[in-house]
Structure 1
Amino acid sequence: MGKDLRIKSKVFDGTMKAPNRAMLRAVGVSEDDFKKPMIGVASTWSEVTPCNIHIDDLALKAKQGAREAGGVPLIFNTITVSDGISMGTDGMRFSLPSRDVIADSIETVVGAESLDGLVTIGACDKNIPGCMIAIANSEVPSVFVYGGTIAPGSHRGKDIDIVSVFEGVGQHNNGRIDDGELKAIECSACPGAGACGGMYTANTMASAVEAMGMSLPGSSSNPAESPEKEEDCDAAGKAVYHLLEKDIYPKDIMTKEAFENAITVVMALGGSTNAILHLLSIAHAIEVDLTIDDFNRIQANTPHLADLKPSGKYVMQDLHRVGGVQAVMKLLHEAGYLHGDCLTVTGKTVAENLAEAPSLAEGQDVIMPFDNPKRADGPLIVLKGNLAPSGAVAKVSGVKVKRHTGPARVFNTEKEATAAVMANEINDGDVLVIRYIGPKGGPGMPEMLSVSSILVGKGLGEKVALLTDGRFSGGTHGLVVGHIAPEAQVGGPIAFLHEGDLVTIDSDKKEISFEISENELEKRRNEWVAPPLYKKGILGKYAHNVSCSSKGAVTDFLNK
């Protein structure tokens, strides 16, 4: 058992009254427990997605660890939604807002119950940043645990995943596969529990959090259904108690240098464009001065090393097999890419943790060497220009086209754009634009994985550029640009695009623009009328409060 920490407890500090004790006795808190710190275990368990179906058992492991260390652990739950299931439907508008609902709900319980420490366990895309925003705002010693990646599916002797199904729809539409083949892919893609297997958003953000020092070494690459993941959760419960002993808080760990480590690892692994949005939001919550321009600064000096899906051939379980994210971090640190003196939730520095970490397995080819990288610089770039004065985001890994100029094909909804693609109305060289789906306009900034995957499946992945003020899934690849800001809903230049305008995307110059005179642009701006802002329910609240995507699409921007 750990030492008596009642001096650190917010509840058991001498102000506890008989009614408070009575309520806690009813949930199993004993007389001896009143001398110990209360540690919350925030679980995102749910049956609505395979990403989170196993987390109830993992929460019990974290509770066990916290109890054995000397704390009083209490499990509580929050929501999750499945991006993969909602993709291509109106439900996708709720995905990004769920990040803030998760964050707010966890912070609410920690604050209302005066908890002393916190373990959060998340898996699906928005769980991870939601948990991290909550940790930042709750300001108690905390550890994040990743629920882990799913094992790859298998079809015709090849590994497949959920993105294989989306791309299969495009192949089916083009007549390249029949009904039976599409059904076989569908039935094989997701074999069990865990988050989507490639270097998509969940695995990207889990890796970023580990690089930042807010999860235990190995957490991001330990598979969902593995003894290592159970041990990870048990150890996290113990780790929070030790953070209380050492008086280490999230703000001590989540420094500007820690965020730079996270960005470096994301670039090296070829992570999701969503990492930019989410890391900005977490930095905002912890009050670290991180801007969208920091990503280009780090991108220019960080090689892309990982041969991981969607632009490579391997999945997260393969990376685990050859040493995991810790081995990649060790490689990067030894080459001078990481800040080794950053503190972590182990109570040790990054350098001290990595001294004990394994090196990459001999003969592996998941991670490329520095002298033969996938790309000499990072694959996530921020573009600016008269179409996106506040920035736009592209993932250029595996994309051979460096510059594309073509006529704009403009749609105000994903449904209309998808119908045009399926009807073969989009031609080689076109620039497909889907607008009014930004944070406010969507509302909720939905992802365009469905339409982008159909383009790839139809063989148009690098022949047609796809631009949007919405987002893209971490599973998206091809010639795509998202997060165009300011968004159309608030009168960003994307709102003034007309059918046929020539648009240019230049990844080398990091520019995105359209051909228009200042006089014509001003004329269109004066003629433009903003659509009504959505008003009802959670999406209405979100639309009225959310910031620009270049600021992380946060909902408390005016308060900080």
Structure 2
Amino acid sequence: MKQALRSQNWFGKKGKDGFIYRAWMKKQGIPGHEFDGRPVIGICNTWSELTPCNGHFRELAECVKRGVYEAGGFPVEFPVMSLGETLMKPTAMLFRNLVSMDVEESIRGNPIDGVVLLCGCDKTTPALLMGACSVDIPSIIVSGGPMLTGKHRGQSISTSDIWRFSEAVRSGKMTNEELLLAEAGMCRSDGHCAVMGTASTMACMAESLGMTLPGNAAIPAPDAARKVLAHMSGTEIVKMVKEDRKPSDILTRQAFENAIMVNAAIGGSTNFVIHLLAIAGRVGIDLTLEDFDKYSKDIPLIANLQPSGQYFMEDMYYAGGLPAVIKGLLDTLNSDAVTVNGKSIKDNYAGSVSYNEEVISGVDKPFNPTSGIIVLKGNLCETGAVIKPSAASEHLMKHKGRAVVFDNIEDYKARVDDPNLDVDETCVMVLKNVGPKGYPGMPEVGNMGLPQKILAKGVKDMVRISDGRMSGTGFGTVVLHATPEATEGGNFALVQNGDIIELDVRARLLQLHVSDEELAARRQQWKAPAPHVERGYVGQYIKHVEQANQGADLDFLKGKSGSEVTRDSH
């Protein structure tokens, strides 16, 4: 039985209502036959000059439109709030959930039968997918693609080098003039970060979930193949509408397990955890923090990409892209999981090949046998914390040291380079109150720069712990997402200077060596900090945001409302 089109509840009406809907659209030069019952395809665009990673999306949208027209659809482009990771304060993560609401209501309230989600910069991918899942009409993702590899003095550089350059300047090994030269060569083209940072991780997440056409994740933004993929995605979404293939048909438990395994193999960002949990919450999949450890622990690192490895996203594309990675994992993945084109993971990727085993190896000869996300438990993080072992230092994976505590990011900035700071390289740096409620928004400050006095010794890494996040381009022995966050009053709020902290990554342990009696006494003295803001969206965010181990979504957005509009007339 042919599925009725949502858009006909607008354009198929007779009388006054139909007249209004069609007439106002026709003022844009749209001929009457476009309203004759063909699928209306929304193109959800996060283009913005304040989101440089997505600055080429106007052109990409035109490619999608050509594909929609070719398949007999009627494309309509619409904007939603865009999140520029590098520019937006206090952190783009604060607004991920707001964008998901924008997307959800824009889709639900308009005559759209299917939607193409144009995603690029970090938070735009999970935000758009969360919103589309909550409406659950046919949806497909088109990523913007990574930028070309940066160049500086004959060397390849990327956003991961920002952290190295910063430490080099602070330690006197690099001048500000040389830093400016590197800055000029870093971003050479359209696209998001050129390494396996959060943006590329999200593109890989979308593909491994089955929400994109094969090959989407790694095509560089300036490559003509990116435009071809956008065109073909426009064609595919029309087919999806005709076959009524929705996110709920694709985003099964098996798809989420696949995404976790693929993320381990590529050395994906720790931010993957918080976004996948939020997406699972929208589609009703019971995904837990422990699942990330369970499904990634036996998956080795087979993509040799910065920051966990050597190469760049551009190299990954030339080596076969994500299809080559997925092909190598087919024996482990849920290979029957369906994707947007109606084919299984196995059907889509069985013929893929790695063209460069220095970049994409097989599981029998990985670059690092330890990968994925390790979930830590202990009295310092009662409901969990995470660490990315492939980006950590082996000698610090089991470590016991004295805590050097910073109560907030301002405290850290004020004291980290103070020559009188009581710290040495054996200490454990602790940063509090940078979680979802405490900051608010959970910024990417967890990979704290080391104190100047430590850098002067030539030390490059220390154990660092926070209730915040870390950029996917960052690296180091950094424990993140400690929950409950300090603002919630768990044990993480109670740690003090001089306390002994034990980290044992292999044992999945993060322990504060303070007695229960002492912690109880400290809790009696602890006072919750006042909310930073009480009005508007940010005030509601602080009241309703869930903890990191639950995905940091707003509690009232869990689940989905479906595609029915609240009222069906003006």
- Alignment TM-score, normalising by the size of structure 2: 0.92
Tell me the distance in 2 between the aligned counterparts of 1:559 and 1:197: 33
Question: Secondary structure of 2:371's match?
Answer: coil
* Offset at residue 371 of structure 1 (A): 2.8
Matched, 1:25 2:38: no
- Cα distance in 2 between the residues matched to 1:119 and 1:29: 20
Aligned to 1:405: 400
Aligned to 1:83: 85
- Give distance in 2, aligned partners of 1:275 and 1:364: 25
SS of corresponding position for 1:329: helix
Work out whether residues 66 and 238 of structure 1, in 8 Å CA contact, stay in contact via their aligned partners in 2.
Answer: yes
Task: Give the total of aligned pairs.
Answer: 548
Letter in 1 for 2:24: M
Q: Per the alignment, in what secondary structure is the counterpart of residue 400 of structure 2? A: strand
Match of residue 451 from structure 1: 448
How far residue 315 of structure 1 moved from its aligned partner, in angstroms, is 0.9
1:487 Cα deviation after fit: 0.5
Contact map agreement 2:68 2:235 (CA 8 A) in 1: yes
Q: Please give the secondary structure, in 2, of the residue aligned with 1:108.
A: helix
Q: RMSD in angstroms over aligned alpha carbons?
A: 2.0
Q: Which amino acid aligns with 1:412?
A: D
Mark the CA change 1:542 to 1:156 in structure 2 (over 3 Å): closer, same or farther: same
AA in 2 matched with 1:239: E
Aligned residue in 1 for 2:143: 146
Aligned partners of 2:312, 2:154: CA distance in 1, in Å? 15
2:303–2:325: 8 Å Cα contact kept in structure 1?
no
Counterparts of 2:386 and 2:415, CA distance in 1: 24
Query: Which segment drifts farther, 93-102 or 132-141?
Result: 93-102
Distance 1:312 1:360, change over 3 A: same
Match of 2:565 in 1: none
- Aligned equivalent of 1:554: 553
* Matching residue of 1:539: 538
1:92-241 matches, within 5 Å, as 93-241=90-238
Amino acid at match of 1:420: R
Partner Cα distance (2:60, 2:374) in 1: 36
**Residue 454 and residue 475 in structure 1: after superposition, are their counterparts in 2 closer, same or farther (change >3 A)?**
farther
Cα distance in 1 for partners of 2:516, 2:316 equals 50
Q: Does 2:436 align with 1:439?
A: yes
Give the CA deviation at 1:213: 0.4
Identify which of 256, 260, 268 aligns with 1:263. Answer: 260
Distance (Å, rounded) in 2 between the aligned partners of 1:177 and 1:184: 11
- Give, as a single letter, the amino acid of the residue that structure 2 aligns with 1:24: M
What displacement does 1:503 show? 0.7
Distance 1:522 1:421, change over 3 A: same
Verify the 8 A CA contact 1:153 1:188 in the aligned structure 2: yes
Aligned partner of 2:334 in structure 1 is 339
User: Are 1:281 and 2:278 counterparts?
Assistant: yes
The equivalent residue for 1:309 is 306
- For the residues of structure 2 that align with 1:6 and 1:499, how far apart are their CA atoms? 62
The 3-state SS of whatever aligns with 2:58 is helix
1:313-348 per-residue CA deviation (whole Å, 9 max, x = no partner) reads 111110001100011101111xx1111111111111
Residue 85 of structure 2 contacts residue 91 of structure 2 at CA under 8 Å; is this kept in 1?
Answer: no
Per-residue CA deviation, residues 2-26 of structure 1 (Å, 9 max, x unaligned), is: x997587443454652212222222
Look up the equivalent residue of 2:353 and give its one-letter code: S
Alignment of 1:277-426 (within 5 A): 277-333=274-330, 336-355=331-350, 357-361=351-355, 363-398=356-391, 399-400=393-394, 401-423=396-418, 425=421, 426=423
Superposed displacement of residue 166, structure 1: 3.2
1:58 deviates by 0.4
Q: Single out whichever of 467-476 and 60-69 deviates more from structure 2.
A: 60-69
- Aligned to 2:160, the other structure's residue is in SS state helix
The answer (yes or no) to whether the contact 1:291–1:551 under 8 Å persists in 2 is: yes
Q: Contact (CA 8 Å) 2:263, 2:372: kept in 1 or not?
A: no
CA offset digits 1:106-146 (Å, max 9, x no partner): 11111111311000001000001011101201211010111
Question: Does the 8 Å contact 2:447/2:464 carry over to 1?
Answer: no
Tell me the TM-score normalized by structure 1: 0.94
Q: What's 1:505 paired with?
A: 503
1:118 and 1:142 in contact (8 A); partners too: yes
Provide, for residues 510-537 of structure 1, a one-character-per-residue CA deviation record: whole Å limited to 9, x for no partner.
Answer: 1111111111111111111100123133
1:490 aligned to which of 460, 463, 488 = 488
Change (3 A) 1:525 1:501: same
Mark the runs of 5 or more structure 1 residues left unpaired by the alignment.
Answer: none
Kindly tell me: are residues 311 and 420 of structure 1, through their superposed partners in 2, closer, same or farther at Cα, counting changes over 3 Å?
Answer: farther
Matched with 2:463 is 465
Distance change >3 Å, CA 450–CA 373, structure 1 → 2: closer
Percentage identity across paired residues of the two chains:
35
Contact 1:166/1:454 (8 A) holds in 2: no
Contact map agreement 2:485 2:547 (CA 8 A) in 1: yes
Between stretches 208-217 and 374-383, larger displacement belongs to 374-383
Q: How far, CA to CA, are the matches of 2:455 and 2:125 in structure 1? A: 30
Task: Give how far 1:162 is off.
Answer: 2.2
Q: Secondary structure at the match of 2:42?
A: strand
The answer (yes or no) to whether the contact 2:6–2:113 under 8 Å persists in 1 is no
- Note if contact 1:51-1:124 (Cα within 8 Å) is conserved in structure 2: yes
Structure 1 residue 65 corresponds to structure 2 residue 67? yes
